[in-house]
Amino acid sequence: MRPQPYPLIGCAQEEFDNGKYEAAKNLCLLHLKDNPRDPYAHDLLARCYFMLDKIEMSLDEHKLAVKLGPDDHLVYFNFAVTFSKLKRYNQSIKYYRRSLELEPGDYTAHVYLAQDLRDTGQISEALEEFNWVIERCPKCETAYIGLIDLVYALGDQEGAFTLFTEYAETLLGAKYRRDAGNFLRRALEKRASIEGQFKSGELSEYIFNTVEAKLKSLEEEKDLTQETEALMAELEPEIREPLCKYVGRCETRYDLDVDKEFQLER
């Protein structure tokens, strides 16, 4: 979040972050009465209008923000996000690229650009953007998930497993097994669903067995310290139970709070 030179806009941003879009909108409008050429206020107002489902008003405010703040990468980025949500990808790609011209190191803009390039069939450019982020930010889960989904969709299962292994091995300590399992499960489920090669029960069984086998292989290869091994052993029941529940192989009762905390993303 950019620093706010005006108290009203700082308060409006706080209201927006808390989901109070009407209140944030009103504060922006109040501020703009005395500061009509503030690009940051128009940018925030545009996002408020979008969240309030006033799309045309949102686009008008975004245009004003870009006009008044042509050197601020965030006004271009936020305009691009709005276009992306509207599935107007030609415009979103254009504004993500303009944002990156002003701030080339913005990882989030690179990931969002990659996603829109992927969704418009510009595969080689999408791969380039995902890889750019991963090379510089090896723990960026969003980039890895986007890349592995894309590689699976292209039919390169071995390449996807290689990417999965690289990502899983960057995870540390208690996060390792749970996050790695989540990551592989999502990739396998997407791939299998695309191909339509499994009945529902067979897919669950396949995912469970493949996740378990791959994680066991990775753990055997990884030189874990005694402290990490002890921690993973302690976490094992909490991690295994939600996965068993997901695939319908539950044989024990569950602590609902634990299950909720470690519930796999669907």
Q: What is the pLDDT of residue 2?
A: 53
- Decide if 1-70 and 71-137 have a common fold: yes
Q: Kindly report the pTM of this predicted structure.
A: 0.65
CA atoms within 13 A on the CB side of 153: 14
Identify the segments of the chain with pLDDT beneath 50. 1, 172-174, 194, 200, 223-266
Query: Right CATH number for 1-70 from 1.20.120.1200, 3.40.50.720, 1.25.40.10, 3.90.226.10?
Result: 1.25.40.10
Looking at residue 198, its amino acid is: F
Q: How many of the other CB atoms lie within 10 Å of CB of 124?
A: 7
Q: What is the pLDDT of residue 128?
A: 94
Tell me if residue 214 falls in helix, strand or coil: helix
**Domain spans of the chain, in order of start:** 1-70, 71-137, 155-266
Q: DSSP string covering 60-91, please?
A: HHHHHHHHH-TT-HHHHHHHHHHHHHTT-HHH
Distance CA(51)–CA(89), nearest Å, equals 19
Q: What is the pLDDT of residue 212?
A: 63
* Class level of CATH domain 71-137: mainly alpha
Q: What is the pLDDT of residue 156?
A: 79
Q: What is the pLDDT of residue 41?
A: 95
Cα-trace Rg, the chain: 22
Q: What is the pLDDT of residue 90?
A: 96
